[in-house]
Amino acid sequence: MRIVLGGVAVLALAIGGAGALRAQTGAGAVDARAFGAREDVRQVSISPDGKRLAMVRAAAGAGTALYVADLTGDATPRPILTSSGRPDQLTGCSWSTATRLVCNISTLMTTNGMRLGYSRVLTLNADGSDMKPLSGETRDRIDGFGQFGGGIIDFLADDAAGGDAKGGSVLMTRDYGAQMTTGSITASTASGLGVERVDTTTLRRQQVERPSGRASEYITDGHGTVRIMGITAASDSGMLRGRTTYMYRKAGDRSWQPLSVVSDDGGVSHGFDPYAVDRDANVAYGFDDHGGRQALYRVALDGSLKRELVLDRPDVDVDSLIRIGRQQRVVGASFATDRRERVIFDPALKALAASLGRALPKQPIVSIVDASADEQKLVLFAGSDVDPGSFYLFDRTAKKLSPILSVRPPLGGRTLASVKPISFKAADGTMIPAYLTLPAGSSGKGLPAIVLPHGGPGDRDEWGFDWLPQFFAARGYAVLQPNFRGSTGYGAAWFQKNGFQSWRTAIGDVNDAGRYLVSQGIAAPDKLAIVGWSYGGYAALQSAVLDPALFKAIVAIAPVTDLETLRGEHRNFTNFELVDGFIGHGAHIRDGSPAQNVDRIAAPVLLFHGDLDQNVGIGESRLMASKLRGAGKPVTFVEYKGLTHQLDDSDVRTDMLGKSDAFLRTALHIDG
């Protein structure tokens, strides 16, 4: 489905006596435009020879564009490819050679009455010429629809094997479908996920791994050899069972050996989950449980399966690998306590990270995002809580650090609000970690305040820049983001049964965040609101079911509103049984659904939702609005046409921020 609209496409429904939202003017409109603008730079990639940069940048509205800068010339970024964002989206680009790029495209289509996401990979020259589809054929003579166009799992530009004198080959997955041509002796019944070696210039293809009907993942050693395969358990009807068996190959051996089994238990995984292979050490890096929290392990791939604990924490999960270069070698790992911390294993990079930290003291969030083939030129990102961040180019030979582009130019020169890690006591005495953002220059007392629970529920907030709380802080609100029980990152016990089945605990923590703001004198009791997106929107609505008198206004963006409806949205998909188990069955389905308990909601409600949302269907907000209207409750519902869950459109986000601020100022009786 393609919907092309000019300007801000909005259908606003004022329901149940809430009245129309007043237009935002003056400083409010300026702030909404500045913070609503999407990141200008979304990705930066450097060519293998270090002479060119490719940048995926925001374009007008929901659009994205690919720019290329020649570092040997005037280095002016020039656009070579654009996408509208409605619904086609350019999601990322990387270099296959010094002059050729591969890019990922996502879109939405309606197939057999179902709205489905599709992806494709294309390749083109650095000047935009010779653009070709890199994904294998997905329609001709294929039984069914090719929803996913595969993904690149290894770049082989530095590998002359296979007759590619100029390099530029990649290994990429391909979802094969059985060919059903009647009477053809060449028809194939093979189906499933396989791997091909593809020349990104000539499109010459060579099958590397035969398609397997249950294969869901392949991991290479970074040098062109597939070493690990994931096989997902499914029923005869194709329903996923929440269990993946991983197989591996010894070096130089084509036969598969058992590695591990990973099972999902309501959102908590068990078993060694491999993420990368180190060819030289002949080990796989991955994550597994250690004392109730996730830790980093490496497992020998020599037949012994010797297991070594690499990094663990007693307080939080170790959740990310740090990788570098075209071979994506593992050089460290990271975890989030109050702030994200990184442990670098590579001595040279550890020293480099320390020196970069000293060079960028006001931007302590520093990460390596890409590197030239010889790793002498690095693309870095650096930012902080009060700095949205910038990309830099670092020349290790010349020891020169050069800025590339700022992520959010409209916020340049603004004084942003600092983010302070805190903890507060829940009703049962448990200390809940959270992040407090106070308006810059404020006393921090007697303010209008917002509790902002995160989405997920399988997620958590981290220290750093976040455009949504920063907007509200710029408008004079104190903002508290609780990592309530049901959040990830703190181990299985903290996650509990997840934020739906354990909703009373999760929402209780969210409400206790509001009580903390009042008890500390930060919030004026009559000027306390709650705002949330996705699960956060659910939490915002359900908070009023648990304690109707606490929050005086509710803003819910793309919220879950009815657990049975959420279950039904996945009924025709292969993950239905997993979603069904995650949501569970029992009294909590009705008790934990705000749309079924609107009689307890006293505060006015503002809802936002995109009509192409695949994460949470727009029917959830429509149901909530209808239920509130039927109960005579004040509600305003704003539908955004042609947008998905993230409302990834600068004009629409500006509109949403302006309407939210206006609504809150009216509901909380804030002057100005």
Q: What is the DSSP letter of 368?
A: E
Query: Using 50, 70 and 90 to split pLDDT, how confident is the model at 165?
Result: very low
Query: Using 50, 70 and 90 to split pLDDT, how confident is the model at 138?
Result: low
Query: Using 50, 70 and 90 to split pLDDT, how confident is the model at 460?
Result: very high
Structure tokens that stand for 596 in this block: 């079924």
Same domain (yes/no): 460, 587: yes
pLDDT at 432: 98
pLDDT at 56: 97
Residue 111 pLDDT exceeds 80: no
CA 553 – CA 532 distance, rounded (Å):
12
Buried b / exposed e along 610-640 (16+ C-beta atoms within 10 A): bbbbeebbbbbbbbbbbbbbeeebbbbbbbb
Residue 6 pLDDT exceeds 60: no
Q: In what order do the strands lie in the sheet with 169-176?
A: 152-155, 169-176, 192-199, 205-212
pLDDT at 166: 57
> Average pLDDT of 50-68?
95
CA 543 – CA 526 distance, rounded (Å):
16
Residue 617 pLDDT exceeds 50: yes
**Is 594 within a domain?**
yes
Which domain covers residue 610, as residue numbers?
Answer: 419-668
To the question of pTM greater than 0.85 for the whole model, the response is yes
Same domain (yes/no): 466, 367: no
* 19, 50, 113, 164, 327 from 323: Cα distances, Å: 52, 18, 41, 26, 9
**Is 439 within a domain?**
yes
Mean pLDDT of the chain: 91
**Is 286 within a domain?**
no
Q: Which of 414, 432, 448 is the last residue of a domain?
A: 414
Same domain (yes/no): 455, 430: yes
Query: Using 50, 70 and 90 to split pLDDT, how confident is the model at 189?
Result: low
Same domain (yes/no): 358, 467: no
Nearest Cα neighbor of 317 from 506, 114, 495 is 495
**Is 369 within a domain?**
yes
Contact at 8 Å (CB) between 292 and 491? yes
Same domain (yes/no): 362, 436: no
CA 478 – CA 454 distance, rounded (Å):
16
CA 619 – CA 601 distance, rounded (Å):
20
Q: Is 559 buried (19+), middle (13-18) or exposed (0-12) by CB count in 10 A?
A: buried
What CATH number does the domain containing 454 carry? Answer: 3.40.50.1820
Residue 72 pLDDT exceeds 80: yes
> Average pLDDT of 291-302?
97
Residue 4 pLDDT exceeds 60: no
- Please state the domain count of the chain: 3
Q: In what order do the strands lie in the sheet with 307-311?
A: 273-278, 283-290, 293-300, 307-311
Q: Helices (DSSP H) in 456-529: which residue ranges?
A: 467-474, 492-495, 503-519
Which amino acid is present at 428?
D
Structure tokens that stand for 551 in this block: 């929050």
**Residue % of the chain over a pLDDT of 70:** 91
- What tens digit of pLDDT does each residue of 561-606 get? 999 999 999 998 888 999 999 999 999 999 999 999 999 999 999 9
Q: Which of 366, 382, 414 is the last residue of a domain?
A: 414
Residue 139 pLDDT exceeds 60: no
Give the total residue count for the chain. 672
Residue 10 pLDDT exceeds 80: no
Query: Using 50, 70 and 90 to split pLDDT, how confident is the model at 321?
Result: very high
Least confident of 85-89, 118-122, 345-349, 404-408: 85-89
Nearest Cα neighbor of 612 from 572, 581, 642 is 642
Residue 16 pLDDT exceeds 70: no
Q: Which of 414, 432, 467 is the last residue of a domain?
A: 414
> Average pLDDT of 417-422?
98
> Average pLDDT of 459-483?
98
Cα-to-chain-centroid distance, residue 214: 25
Query: Using 50, 70 and 90 to split pLDDT, how confident is the model at 157?
Result: low
What CATH number does the domain containing 164 carry? Answer: 2.40.128
CA 540 – CA 8 distance, rounded (Å):
26
- 608: phi then psi, degrees, rounded to nearest 5: -125, 145
Query: Using 50, 70 and 90 to split pLDDT, how confident is the model at 24?
Result: low
**Is 227 within a domain?**
no
pLDDT at 234: 85
Least confident of 61-70, 235-244, 282-291: 235-244
**Is 514 within a domain?**
yes
**Is 192 within a domain?**
yes
Same domain (yes/no): 476, 579: yes
Same domain (yes/no): 451, 573: yes
